[in-house]
Structure formats: C-alpha cells, structure tokens
Structure 1
Amino acid sequence: MASATQIDHLELLLGQDSSSSFPEMASSAREQALAAGLPAVKEEEYKFTAIQRKIEKSISDFGRAKVLELTPEQVAAALPEGFDGDYIVFNNGIPELNLSSFGQEGYTATLLSGSRPEKLGKVAKNEKDVFTAINTASFIDGLHIEVAKNQQIEKPIHFLFFNQSNSGQVINSRILIEVEANAEISFLENTVSVNDESYFLNQVTEVIAAPNSKSSYSRLQNESNQAITVNNFETDIHRDAVFTSNVISLGGDMVRNNLTLNLLDSGCEGNMYGLYLLNGKTHVDNHTNVDHTKPHAESNELYKGILADSSRGVFNGKIFVRQDAQKTNAFQQNNNILLSEDATINTKPQLEIWADDVKCSHGCTTGQLDEEALFYLQARGLGKDQAKGLMLYAFAGEVLEHIPDEAFRNHADALVKERLGTKI
C-alpha cells in the first residue's frame, strides 16, 4: 500500500489530463498505480536502483511534456548515415506520422487510437510493474504496427524518439507490434535528447511474434545525462518463431530496462544481447526474464558492460524452465570490465528449473583489463591508450555484431569507438 506522500508524488506523475485514447483502460491502470506506489529499494526487484528517490529528487515540475516543433531537417540529421528503410518519428512520446517515411508494403503503421487493437495490454500487464500501469494510465496515443502474414519486409523500420522537457517533464510512449505467421521484419530504435534538461521517459513496447515469424528489435539508448528512463519491453513468441533483442546503453542519468521473452510453444527461439558503456555517474539496470513454457525451445543471452568513473551497472537475469518445457536449451552470460575503483556492478544471473531433461547454463564475470595482454599490444608498437581501446572494443564487438542493419550497426559502432577513445 502506497503511503500518503507516495500517492501525492504519483498523482503529480500521473497528471490530471484525461485525454487518453483508452479512458476505461487508463482509469483502471491509474487505480493500480496508486495502490502499488513507486518501487522502493526495499523491494527485491529494485534493490540496487533507487528510482523512487531519483524521480522525486530530479523531477521538479511534474506534468506531461508538450509536443515539440520538429523539422524534417532535424529528423534527417538523426538518421544513421547510409540508412535505407522506413522511419517513424515520436515527438515527446507521441507518434508523428506526417514527419515519418513509409516506402514499403506488407505492413501497416497506424495510431493506436485509430486501430483500437484488442491485444493492447495483453502482453505487458499493469500488475507486473507499476511503470507499465503509469504508462497505461497516462499515454495519449501510441503506435500499432501490423506485419501481414507471409510478408518479408526487407528494409528495417526505424523509430526515432525526440525527447525534451518543456512545460512538463513526463514522457510516455506506447508501441504494439504484431508480426503475423511466416513474416520477417527488423526494428531499430534511437532516442534523441533535444537538450540537456531532465525528463522522465516511460516506454512500454509489446511484441507478438506469431508462428514461424522472424523479427528483431535493436535499441540505442544515448540520452541526456539528466534523463531518467524506464523501458518495459515484453514479447510473446509462438511456435517456431525467432525473436532477437539488442540493447546498447550509452547515456542517461538512470536507465531501467525490463525485458521479458515469453517462449509459448515448441521450436521457438529468443535471443537477447546487451552492451552498456557507462561513465560519469550514469546508472543502468538491465532486468531480463526468459520464460520457457513448452519443450524444444531455445534462448541465448549475452550482456556485457564496461564501467568507468563513478558509474553503476545492474544486471539481473532470470531464466524460468517450466515443468512441461523438456528439451529446453538456455544460455545466459553477463561479463563486465571495471575501469575505475569507484565503478560498481551488481550482477545476479538466475535459473529456476522445474524440468529434468534440459541443457541450461548461466554465469557472470567481473574484472579489469588483462595487464599481460595490454603489455603484449604495447610491445607490438601500440600506445597504452590505443592498446586499451583496442582491447575494450574487442570485448564490446561481440554484442555489436548481432545488430542486423549495417547502417545502424556502423552508427552504434562509431559511438562505441568514440566513447572508448579508439581510432580503429
């Protein structure tokens, strides 16, 4: 039960605007959020991420951020060099289709208010995380992507999120993606902070991957150093479908990523790759869940972190193997390099297995650069900084190579090299 002070803060966070496109759903979610309250560090899921204190301290003027004045030139400048595909603009969380570009057939992109989808809120449930409830109660409109049956969308769909605090600091975005049977598609996401002011970005994305579909979603988080972000990303993966997530976290004040893959049938596959390069006082918390419910399914997870200065990383990965999920093959690994005595990582890979015929593994490593390898490279004529950058880039590259789109991968690669100070 939320305290009176928490309810006051939540009331401000939720706002009083009743312009939701789904008023009944919003009203119910508002009640759930007020009953739950913001998560405190005494709660196990937020033990190392004091987001309640961060929000109350950082967000001085609660209220919904207004839409920005964006130009086509700003949008074009935010696209990766050489990008070839469709793109959809989000203006402080609201899809702005008139600034977007659609050149491919086989899928539709509409506002949630226009499509009135039945499956909205069926994957990402309000009771699972209070920030999902806050989003459901507060988002004005969102995006609904439907990929038609048997369609192979050759070029990626790029979501561009332009965020800025203006006359309000709370930004809610909502996306529902339905990939029909035998369809293929890839999605990209990039966040652009228009200025360095503080704001709270609350994102909810739901993906339904129908039988024998193949889809991927690659995210690049490189926001203002005063931005607070919570991202609830949930997927339902059906028979023989393959879904792959890539998350690259480079910036923000406090970032919380909740990623869930529900493997709902035999033959399906879920992949999760993540990289976080942190400096300053940036705090990034990756919470992942993989739920194996049926036999003969596979999951792969690899998250890597490089932490400098006084930054802090959190990795909490859970794999559930239900009793019926025999012949499951599940892999999970989290590796970290600390470049400073003040950098911190809290890592907790977990397995909960109720089946007896499975192949599962999990582990984590935390350390510093190998001094012998560093000496070897310097002995071959490289300067210390260059040798260090080369080693760190090799460490990070194992994650970057899983991004399917070349232009987006090259863009992320350049940002990583810049952060690592390498000229490779």
Structure 2
Amino acid sequence: MHAWPASEVPALPGKGRDLQIHDTATDGLVTLDPGPVARIYVCGITPYDATHIGHAATYNAFDLVQRVWLDTKRQVHYVQNVTDVDDPLLERALRDNVDWVALAEKETALFREDMTALRMLPPQHYIGAVEAIPGIVPLVERLRDAGAAYELEGDIYFSVESDPNFGSVSNLDTAAMRLLSAERGGDPDRPGKKNPLDPMLWMAAREGEPSWDGGSLGRGRPGWHIECVAIALDHLGMGFDVQGGGSDLAFPHHEMGASHAQVLTGEFPMAKAYVHAGMVALHGEKMSKSKGNLVFVSTLRREGVDPAAIRLALLAHHYRADWEWTDQVLEDALARVDRWRAAVSRPDGPPAEPLVEEIRAALANDLDAPAALAAVDRWAALQQERGGTDEGAPGVVSRAVDALLGVAL
C-alpha cells in the first residue's frame, strides 16, 4: 500500500531542540533523544468513512513530532497502518450493500487526499492489515506455542497474564479496563475465556466474512492489536521512540499491543513514550463515526475552505486537550491565516530569528502549538503596527511556519 506525496520541508537557520513530550505510561514529561534516526508508529484509520476533524487533529499532533525531529537534523522513520479488514468496515459495507474491499480502497484514497491537502508528512511505510497477514500468522503461532495464547472455539486469544508488565501503558484498574474493553471492540463477557480482558489474536473464519489461510491457526483473520504489533516490529523493532494515536487507543489497543510485543521479544518497553491526542467534540459529544456527529475534512475542502485554515484550527488547541469544533473555531483560523499572509507579503519586517526560536521552544515543550501560534501572532501584529527593517524576515517567518507548523503561507 502506498502513502501520499510529501510536501517539501524548508530548511531553517540554526538547529531545533530535543522534544519533551507527555508519556501516558508514566503520566509525565519525558525528553526524547532518539539518536540519528527517530522511530515513530502511529495507528491509522479503519477506512469505512472519510477523515473527520478528530482524525485530522490526531495526525496533526504526530506530524508536529516529525517536524520537531527534522528540525534537529535527524531522520525520521515513520510507520502507519491501515486496518483494512475489521468488523466496522464489514458492517458498513453490508449496510451500504457495497464490496468491503472497494469501500476500504475508496476511503483510504480519500484519506490520502485529505492528508496531502493538510500537508501532513507521509509515513515511509504505510501498511494495510491484509498485506500484513503473512507476518501476523507466525507471531500468533509463537504466542500460542509459548503458552501465552489459547484456543476457544477455533479463535485464538492472548493471555494478558503472560505479560508481567500488563497494565503499564494505561495504568487503569481492572474494573475500568473491563468497561473500556466492552466499549472498544473487546468481548469481556464471552464464556470460556481465561481472563475477561484477554484479546483475540486470530478470529476463525465466519460464514459470509473474508478469511485467509492461517497455517496451523486455520482460516480466519487477525485481531486488531496483533496487526499493529506485527507491522511495528517488522519495520521499527522494539524500543522505538513514540507510539502514537488518539487517547481512546491507550486502552485497549496500545496496552494490548505492548503486551503482545513484550511477550514475543522478552523486551520492555515496546515504545519509549506512549503519546495520545485528545478528542474533538461536536455539539457537546465526542466526534465519532458511531454517533455520526462528524465534520469531514473533505467536505470542508469541497466547500472551498483553505486547508491552511483547517490546519490552523487544529493547531489552536493543545494536542492533548479535548476540545469542540465550532463555526467560531474555523472563523478564527481563517482570520489568522489572512493576518499572517498579509504580514509575510512585505519585503522586510521585524527580526525573524527570535520568532523562530520561540516557535522551536514552544513545540519542544510538549508540542505547545497554541504558544507557537501566539508568537507568530505577535510578530504579525508588530509587522502591521510599525513594520521593520530586517530584509528577508518575512521569508524566514514564512519558511518557519511551513517547516515547523506545516502551514503554507
């Protein structure tokens, strides 16, 4: 599976700062020092509907991570998956009486278009669950053969008790885990499981549903968590720098994935930092496909909304915050992009280097994009009030906003 084209990231004078970011596992800030190549895995979409603002906010956060690392003159090895076979996709295809493969391909293509328009840097490896199946099957077999997995009516389950570090990502108690498991794709009430929290690794073939040859596992399809583990271990190995996604993935997805990987390899932890973006609401409720309260990026683009304004609307909120999309949020972003473009349209202005360092400092401090935007606002206001004599400063500011914030002026 191919990703989307990369937009050029302008080179800036000087060098960026190491990133300090909030780690869910320790509930504190950690300073990441990845070495010459930074490694990041971000969980991708289940492609049964278009990209909504909540998706865009999540991918924007991890795009900033990449931009901070690139500004430190590091390379970035970024991997993202596509869950192109799963219950929600099959259910949507059945509801709409369309082929599930065609639906997945259509929505993945639209996602690529949205990411391109928003200038999100693409992953080096963009892997679908279906194409990862040949690498998933051996991992499930290894877990089963090691006694860390068991069979139940043809399905294969992972035993959470096989990982002494289970629970170290989300730090939730058992009651909270069980509740979230039921809400987020698990089956804690299924009879016969050794532990209600045990997640499925391999689902035996069901009538009328797609299935693949699973070798000694029989025909079936992979569970959700083992998909990302297989892709991450194949392309990044253990101990990569950032495991990213929305806050709703901390449990069960990232918790279970970490346990799978740790039992498979005998190493801990799977990732140096587990980083989670907040949720975006509409009309007082979290934006989600199940509720249907969605604002789609593609719809905004079709209505003629400047993608730079959409991106600024996302950047106006700290990545870890839960916030609500409103008409005012978009209006403020449209006004901001107009002010910034007017400010950089002149041949000279106030000195740019202090602003570049302010943006760098803000982003290095747990991706504080709102502080970075406020710094650019102050420069633009000063430019409007009295201008400046620094020739070329507007060009430097324009390149910095593009390189560090992903906004093309």
> What is the TM-score of this pair, normalised by structure 1?
0.25
Q: Which has the higher contact order (CA 8 A, sep 6+)?
A: 2
The structure where strand makes up a greater share of residues is 1
Q: Which has the larger radius of gyration?
A: 2
The structure where helix makes up a greater share of residues is 2
